[in-house]
């Protein structure tokens, strides 16, 4: 679309495309899908090799990559960009920048180029603004035909950025209100129990056994409430991108063995055999060790908790076609087929054999967020009365090329 960009008809076509895409943006409330639409449109409008959106954390003010179209996007997604960088300058000053030779601009940081192997030659960076407030930066990098960016590119991208900023703000608000609404609904159950049993404690005719029972129920519901709030805050941070994943070598075999050792007392208490199976010589995984440990601990805890007496749980790690594959398998009660499609949904809990659901219903949602933030995927297979397998695939190497953290 941008090859004959100085032609009157081409300029008109680009303007019409912006209007067309803006209608789609305004009707899209799923933030990840929305960001993909925006950077896809930016790339198409400018005929560039790569494009990206960086968003500003409302609390910390940090600028980080949130969406990237290129051949190595996982290398930079959710990476914080320095304030003194070119993108940081655009976010701070609220002004667009056109750089046709980044080597001549002192603000350009080649750090991401070095990490990803991508070579940035030229770029346009524009602020995403709503009511005078900058919420992020839209970038396009390297014209495919190696020609220079011009004012027409800035004009058409500015129009796209204006629509995009409003759409992003609306999607964030919808996402936040939707999650809060679900959370408030879920809080009602433990709060109702706490209020009801505390009122019963005011009666004068309670015997010691009743008193202890009521106090125990209040304590259990208060603990569940605390766990639910903590999980909710963790999930909200992950979904908003405010939680940054570390990018360091992780010995996944060592981590699997460590998690199994930590969970061994729980397994012994329930008379469940716990086993770690790690392929020798596994390469290190680039990721966030603490978050990956959180994933393994959650899956192992569930596998032990919902197992049968004298059951088995195994945690297996192996290198499969350039990815680390983790499999957490158990011989527990299994998950009914009707529940499997919803197992990663927020606040979804599978009822036990007596019809009661336990937990906060957020653990597996958090697990999936962490896995996907590492560029991986998680799947589940289960059969009632036989057991459950969670399979995680985490990429070892980055196979795409990312735009520079300008």
DSSP 370-395: HHHHTT-EEEEEEETTTEEEEEEEEE
What pLDDT, on the 0 to 100 scale, is given for residue 404?
47
What pLDDT, on the 0 to 100 scale, is given for residue 228?
81
- Name which of 196, 229, 241, 190 is nearest 214 in CA terms: 196
Average pLDDT, the chain: 84
Residue 341: is it exposed, middle or buried by C-beta count within 10 angstroms (0-12/13-18/19+)?
A: exposed
Per-residue pLDDT at 179 exceeds 80: no
Per-residue pLDDT at 164 exceeds 60: yes
261-311 tens-digit pLDDT: 999 999 999 999 999 999 888 999 989 999 999 999 999 999 999 898 899
Q: Which of 5-19, 40-54, 187-201 has the highest mean pLDDT?
A: 40-54
Per-residue pLDDT at 48 exceeds 90: yes
> Which whole-number Å values give the CA distances from 128 to 48, 70, 91, 261, 324, in the listed order?
19, 20, 8, 48, 37
User: d(Cα 170, Cα 31) in Å, to the nearest integer?
Assistant: 9
196-232 tens-digit pLDDT: 889 888 888 889 898 999 999 899 889 888 888 887 8
Q: How confident is the model at residue 368 (pLDDT cuts 50, 70, 90)?
A: very high
Instruction: Show the domains of the chain with their CATH numbers.
Output: 8-174 (3.30.450.40), 245-406 (3.30.565.10)
Residues 307, 330 contacting (CB under 8 angstroms): yes
109-152 tens-digit pLDDT: 777 666 656 788 999 999 999 988 999 999 999 999 999 999 99
- Residues sharing a CB contact under 8 Å with residue 158, sequence separation 6 or more, in sequence order: 96, 126
Q: What is the percentage of the chain residues whose pLDDT exceeds 90?
A: 43
């Amino acid at each position: 679309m941008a090859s004959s960009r100085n032609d009157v008809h081409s300029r008109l076509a680009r303007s019409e495309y912006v209007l067309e895409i803006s209608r789609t943006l305004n009707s899209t409330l799923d933030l990840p899908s929305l960001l993909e639409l925006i950077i896809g449109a930016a790339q198409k409008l400018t005929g560039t090799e790569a494009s990206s959106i960086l968003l500003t954390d409302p609390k910390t003010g940090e600028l980080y990559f949130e969406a990237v179209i290129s051949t190595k996007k996982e290398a930079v997604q959710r990476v914080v960009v320095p304030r003194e960088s070119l993108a940081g300058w655009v976010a701070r000053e609220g002004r667009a920048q056109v750089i046709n030779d980044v080597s001549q601009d002192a603000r350009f940081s080649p750090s991401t180029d070095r990490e990803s192997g991508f070579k940035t030659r030229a770029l346009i960076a524009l602020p995403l603004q709503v009511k005078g407030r900058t919420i992020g930066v839209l970038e396009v990098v390297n014209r495919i035909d190696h020609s220079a960016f011009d004012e027409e590119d800035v004009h058409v991208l500015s129009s796209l950025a204006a629509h995009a900023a409003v759409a992003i703000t609306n999607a964030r608000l919808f996402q936040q209100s939707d999650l809060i609404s679900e959370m408030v609904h879920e809080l009602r159950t433990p709060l109702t129990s706490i209020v009801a049993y505390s009122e019963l404690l005011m009666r004068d005719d309670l015997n010691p056994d009743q008193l202890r029972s009521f106090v125990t129920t209040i304590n259990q519901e208060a603990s569940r409430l605390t766990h639910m709030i903590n999980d909710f805050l963790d999930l909200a941070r992950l979904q908003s991108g405010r939680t940054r994943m570390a990018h360091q070598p992780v010995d996944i075999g060592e981590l699997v063995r460590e998690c199994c050792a930590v969970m061994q007392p729980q397994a012994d208490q329930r008379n469940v055999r716990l086993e770690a199976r790690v392929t020798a010589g596994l390469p290190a995984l680039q990721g966030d060790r603490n978050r990956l440990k959180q994933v393994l601990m959650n899956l192992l805890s569930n596998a032990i908790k919902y197992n049968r007496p004298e059951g088995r749980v195994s945690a297996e790690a192996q290198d499969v076609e350039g990815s680390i594959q983790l499999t957490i398998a158990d011989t527990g009660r299994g998950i009914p087929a009707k529940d499997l499609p919803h197992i990663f949904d927020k606040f979804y809990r599978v009822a036990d054999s007596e019809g009661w659901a336990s937990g906060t219903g957020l653990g597996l949602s958090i697990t999936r967020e962490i896995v996907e933030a590492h560029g991986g995927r998680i799947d589940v297979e289960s059969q009632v009365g036989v057991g459950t397998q969670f399979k995680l695939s985490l990429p070892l190497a980055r196979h795409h090329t990312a735009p520079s953290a300008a």
